[in-house]
Amino acid sequence: MSQVVVSPTTRHEGRSKLVLEVDDNGIVTQGNYLSTTPVRGFEKFITGKAMEFAPVASSRFCGICPITHATASSESIERALGIMPPKDGLVLRQLCNLGNRLHSHPLHELLILPDFVKDPNAAMAATVRIQKMRKIGQGIVDITGGEAIHAPNIRIGGMQKNISEAAKRKIIQMLNDYEPLMKEQVDFMLKTLKGNTEVPKKLGVHDRELMATDVNYGNSDVFETEYFYRFSEITPKSYYPGDIGLEACTSIPLIGGRTVEGGPRARLVKYKGFSQKDCGDFDVRGAMAINIARAMEIPLAHARARELIQQLDTTKPTLTKPPESGGDGKTLGVAANEAPRGVNVHTAKVKDGKITYYNCLVATTWNIPTVGKACEGQHYKWAEYVVRAYDPCVSCATHMIVLKEGKVVKEAMI
């Protein structure tokens, strides 16, 4: 028995490491995956600030998921205040989120290309398609959200302003331009993934619960009724063996006392009947199935974006003004938004217009401990394939401070 450490893991957002116990044949007997991205303390410095600051600050968690963070943040405060955006505000907000997914999913395919595509010409052609798809996805976010990265139009109460008829026609054209690129790329990736003969068929198989609230946007009511009452959270020191947890920068969220998996496979299994027949020879419970499900989600997001842009009435209001009272400080607003890589949950309390409590359980936070478990039973050389299948956005998933000068000074969620 020996230990293999992969640090940092590569081709994902943020910094993380694998600590693997392996047997004499290199087979992983215990897998530990942990975030080592430095803590930035967003939740603490949001607390006490004006509520309008929360979606602005939380969208700065990272540059990959800013839209879902601004959305979940706004909705958590809306639910704490008891308000709802107008119908067209919700349509525009969902469209903004889909623009992000139409950019983010192809980006993930760019990151895994070296794992599966050995022909340099095929890889170059895919890279060109992907970059064109990303540009269109970001363009939709730019038009609907006001900026491609940290969209200022996402506000508490909906969207700051509606778009023009000319902008609506522009988005329709952009979705038309996206379609042939998407068809070629999705077909290419599905053939590439299912046709792979080197990756173990059961790579990344685990028995953890799949967690999802919606196919595309997210449903906070589903999260509250199906998951939140079973939710608990422990410190990394309590979860990881030995001193491994002292390096970890995330809490460990649990549903029913166990880790879970969110993301493309969870969404498609729960809402679209994704099953073994979609995965070729690869196990539907494994890492390759996640890559396949992610490719299959792109056309679903594109179709939903087309529906939404047709539904949008550009003459209608998109913003509900928050109440003058500014919250009672008691009601906990719980919001779940489906980020490209899993369920992004923000919770907030507001009193007199200021944040009195704020906590985030972002998509990768849920997946991190499950990734470690999913590495077990295979040779350690495949462990990074498992990590990348989850498309981790690790910078979003840091909100734990337990160390001072290398020693634990407090075991608490902050």
Binding site as annotated, residues for Ni(2+):
65, 393
Phi, psi of 16 (to 5 degrees): -155, 170
- Other C-beta atoms lying within 10 Å of the C-beta of residue 9: 21
**Residues of the binding site for Fe cation:** 65, 396
* 8 Å CB contact between 231 and 179: no
Please give the Cα distance from 173 to 240 (Å, whole number): 50
**Residues of the binding site for Mg(2+):** 43, 62, 399
* 8 Å CB contact between 38 and 249: yes
**Residues forming a β-bridge with 338:** 343
Please give the Cα distance from 361 to 336 (Å, whole number): 9
Cite the beta strand spans of 187-255 per DSSP E. 209-211, 231-234, 252-255
How many residues does the structure list for the chain? 414
Please give the Cα distance from 296 to 268 (Å, whole number): 9
Residue 328 φ/ψ region, left for φ over 0, alpha for ψ in the -120 to 50 degree band, beta for the rest: alpha
- Other C-beta atoms lying within 10 Å of the C-beta of residue 23: 10
- Sign of the CA dihedral 175, 60, 68, 245? positive
How far the first Cα of the chain sits from its last, in Å, is 36
Give the 3-state secondary structure of residue 58.
helix
Q: Where are the alpha helices (DSSP H) in 275-323?
A: 287-311
Number of alpha carbons in the 13 Å side-chain half-sphere of residue 331: 16
Q: Strand order in 342-351's β-sheet?
A: 333-339, 342-351, 354-361
**Residues of the binding site:** 43, 62, 65, 393, 396, 399
Please give the Cα distance from 234 to 248 (Å, whole number): 12
**Residues forming a β-bridge with 393:** 13
Please give the Cα distance from 103 to 134 (Å, whole number): 4
Please give the Cα distance from 47 to 26 (Å, whole number): 47
Please give the Cα distance from 46 to 36 (Å, whole number): 22
